[in-house]
Amino acid sequence: MGGRKILIGREDIEKRVKELGEEISRKYAGEKLIVIGVLKGAWIFMADLVRAMNIDVFCDFVRVSSYGTSTESSGEICLLYWPDLDFSGKRVLVVDDIADTGLTSNFLKQKFLGEGAVSVEFCVLLDKPSRRKTDFKPDYTGFTIPDHFVVGYGMDCNESYRNLPHVEIYQD
């Protein structure tokens, strides 16, 4: 990577994730919540987020792709893994790394509702509203960022940089 530019530092991420966990815990107090992480980018965020919650959660993952090896979304959503769960009558919180075009989020929302979920909410670490191609708006947002390709804290470029403890702007 050429010159590194940290966009969101480790301490800011830790503080915001704790706040999100507390907010979600208040909303779902006394209820069981299915937390679904979107692989691969959200796994670190999801792990920290569920540890910041003080409610009963069941965790699983979905895997979708709209990027392939590119830094631009193709707009086509490929479902690569879907959990073998009964979502009927359940509340679902989808945890994702970035809300970008909104196409994947809308696809997932319709899929969970189609499988009987009574509610589907989204918690994203990063929101890029300038890239939106739909009317999607996350229910919980860590940080709103400008249109940069970012890596770190689980997010990658061709499977590299996921282990960075912060979010930085990717530069060749």
What pLDDT, on a 0 to 100 scale, did the predictor assign at position 76? 79
Find out whether 38 and 63 touch, Cβ atoms under 8 Å.
Answer: yes
Question: Is the pLDDT confidence value at 2 over 90?
Answer: no
- Looking at the predicted structure, is the pLDDT value of residue 143 above 70? yes
Q: What is the pLDDT of residue 171?
A: 83
The model carries a pTM of 0.92
Q: What is the mean pLDDT of residues 27-47?
A: 96
Please write down the HEC assignment for all residues of 27-44.
HCCCCEEEEEEEECCCHH
For the cut 70, the answer to whether the pLDDT of residue 27 exceeds it is yes
Residue 134: other Cβ atoms inside 10 A:
13
- Is pLDDT at 1 greater than 50 in this prediction? no
- Give me the residue spans of the domains in the chain: 5-169
**Could you tell me which residues are beta bridge partners of residue 58?**
34
- Average pLDDT for 25-50: 97
User: So what's the pLDDT on residue 126?
Assistant: 98
Tell me the mean pLDDT in the region 33-52.
Answer: 97
Residues 6+ apart with CB under 8 A from 39: 61, 62, 63, 81
Whether the predicted pLDDT of 172 surpasses 70: yes
Is the model's pLDDT at 106 over the cut of 80? yes
What tens digit of pLDDT does each residue of 60-75 get? 999 998 755 555 555 6
Pick from 68-82, 100-114, 117-131: least confident: 68-82
Catalytic residues: 100
Q: Is 55 strand, coil or helix?
A: coil
The CATH number given to 5-169 is: 3.40.50.2020
pLDDT of residue 90: 97
Cα separation, 62 vs 97, in Å, equals 13
How much of the chain exceeds pLDDT 90, in percent? 88
- pLDDT value of residue 4: 74
